[in-house]
């Protein structure tokens, strides 16, 4: 039995130019480190007591489809293993949870996503993760021209 540890990178993907840049950087870095990637997208629905909200499976399916499309667009053909995950919950919490569960060596995020304050230097999810992650965090700056 081998005690080898695969270098694990978790990257947040929401389809924004910055998240695509983060995924691109993570694939490059994983290639250098002979590592693997978990690309995570998260969706959040407000709690509606015990009501069964119709259409939630559609949200999950749409999120998974969009994640697959972004991964295919950005990653294309690579030898780096990329696992895709869709999580329900606040994106920052979901990223921190998956990073901890997978014993991630690195968390990679775009400097901002689809939030309302596009002029902000660092988005709220990235800022929260920088302050609370138990592993190193890399923030990749995206450009709107990508």
Q: What is the CATH number of the domain that holds 100?
A: 3.40.50.620
Number of structural domains the chain divides into:
1
CA 117 to chain centre: 19
Q: At residue 115, does pLDDT exceed 90?
A: no
In the structure, what pLDDT confidence band is assigned to residue 51 with cuts at 50, 70 and 90? low
b/e sequence 125-139, b meaning 16+ C-beta within 10 Å: bbbbbbeebebebeb
Stretch 93-113: mean pLDDT: 94
The DSSP bridge partners found for residue 138 are 108
Mean pLDDT across the chain, nearest whole number? 86
What is the domain extent for residue 43?
A: 8-49+56-120+130-140
Task: Give the pLDDT score at 54.
Answer: 63
Angstrom distance (rounded) from CA 88 to CA 73: 23
- Within-domain flag for 146: no
Stretch 27-35: mean pLDDT: 96
- Within-domain flag for 82: yes
Work out the percent of the chain whose per-residue pLDDT is above 70.
Answer: 81
Task: Give the pLDDT score at 118.
Answer: 45
- Give the predicted TM-score (pTM) of the model: 0.85
Cα angle 9-88-33, degrees, rounded to a multiple of 5: 5
């Amino acid at each position: 039995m081998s005690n080898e540890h695969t270098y694990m990178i978790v990257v947040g993907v929401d389809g924004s130019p910055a998240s695509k840049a983060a995924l691109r950087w993570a694939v490059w870095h994983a290639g250098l480190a002979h590592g693997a990637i978990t690309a995570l997208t998260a969706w959040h629905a407000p709690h509606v007591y015990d009501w069964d909200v119709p259409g939630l499976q559609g949200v999950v399916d749409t999120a998974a489809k969009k994640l697959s499309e972004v991964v295919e667009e950005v990653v294309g053909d690579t030898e780096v293993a990329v696992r895709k995950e869709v999580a329900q919950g606040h994106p920052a919490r979901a990223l921190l949870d998956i990073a901890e569960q997978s014993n991630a060596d690195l968390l990679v995020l775009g400097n901002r996503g689809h939030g309302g304050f596009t002029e902000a230097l660092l988005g709220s999810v990235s800022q929260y993760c920088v302050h609370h992650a138990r592993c190193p965090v890399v923030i990749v700056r995206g450009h709107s021209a990508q």
